[in-house]
Amino acid sequence: MVQDSTGIPLRQLAERCGVELAGNGDVRIDHIASLDAADRGAIAFLSSPRYRSHLATTRASAVIVTPADAAATALPKLVTANPYATYARVAAVLHPLATAAPGVHPTAVVASSARVAPEATIGPGAVIGERASIAARARIEAGTVVGEECSVGEDCILHPKVVLYPRTVVGPRTIVHSGAVIGADGFGMAEESGRWVKVPQLGRAVIGADVEIGANTTIDRGAIGDTVIEDDVKLDNQIQIGHNCHIGAHTAIAGCAGIAGSTRIGRNCKIGGAAMIAGHLEIVDGTVIGAASGVGDSITVAGAYNGGLPALPQREWMRLLAALMRLRSLVERVRALERGRAEGES
């Protein structure tokens, strides 16, 4: 069989990803595809048993499988305990991020007191405020605003139209997607005589290393202390994180979740989409919160928690709702019966 001259040898992918190679390591791979849509030059992966039957029919040049599935195909393969993570590493090798030439675009506005590393890239229309610091190889893309006294670490990417309010800190290798706003005022209001008095928000937003922040996500700065997002936290799109929150390292939060102020979420937590978490709570390390759950009390024991109703067919939901509406009267009837029984026994 004549091999293509393009792509990367499977052997090299195995070495770069630190996984076992089985079969012909000279097969060249130039793209990623699903098992059912793969063609020559593609590598596909199997991470769910429900798709195991596709191994027999896939046209991929190589596959990524677990040791348990390795015998199910004669194709060249990468064998790993975590095919999905290996797929992610292979995809990063095959499709690296585009690089940007260092320098400041002529239309960018950079304050005279700002420090911009020569290796950094400042895109069209970007604004860098007074005394801000932009580290080596950071990319500040078009229309992004970095406020005064902000610090952006090495190899960061701030996509177009990100806004960092003054004194925000962003750690190395962090990626912030378009429309995200970091360091805006927290929702701090004191009520007096039927009116609201704004509470000055004096803290910062401090983002760790290797964090990813999704599009249109907002992270408020602290009222007195700092709002802190620790290393390797992954935030989806359209999340709201209130002032003085603390999110532990390696935690992942899905889209549209809302976290009220002064809540501390531990390390290695997973929070589903549209979950709503009240303020001033503590959530321990390793907690899993299901999508659309409402959390009103602290969680002190790690585990999986769900607080939302699953979707039901309309007719079934209406019957359930009708039963729920009758529940109070049913409880009162049971209590009356219990009282009558107790009086009869006495």
89-95 long-range contacts (CB < 8 A, ≥24 apart) are 89/16, 89/17, 90/13, 90/17, 90/29, 90/32, 90/43, 90/64, 91/32, 93/8, 93/13, 93/16, 93/17, 94/8, 94/29, 94/30, 94/31, 94/32, 95/31, 95/32
| Angle, vertex CA 286, rays to CA 265 and CA 309, nearest 5 | 80
Would you call 270 exposed, middle or buried from its count of C-beta atoms within 10 A (0-12, 13-18, 19+)?
A: middle
Spatial separation of the C-alpha atoms in residues 37 and 29, rounded to whole Å: 15
Provide φ and ψ at 102, rounded to 5°: -65, 155
CA 17 to chain centre: 23
Spatial separation of the C-alpha atoms in residues 183 and 164, rounded to whole Å: 6
| Angle, vertex CA 205, rays to CA 200 and CA 206, nearest 5 | 150
**Are the CB atoms for 113 and 131 separated by under 8 Å?**
yes
Asked about 243 being catalytic, the answer comes back as: yes
Indicate which residue of 54, 159, 177, 243 is catalytic.
243
Chain length of the chain: 346
33-39 long-range contacts (CB < 8 A, ≥24 apart) are 33/60, 35/60, 35/63
Spatial separation of the C-alpha atoms in residues 49 and 343, rounded to whole Å: 61
- At residue 83, the 3 state secondary structure works out as helix
Beta-ladder partners of 198: 189
- Residues involved in catalysis: 243
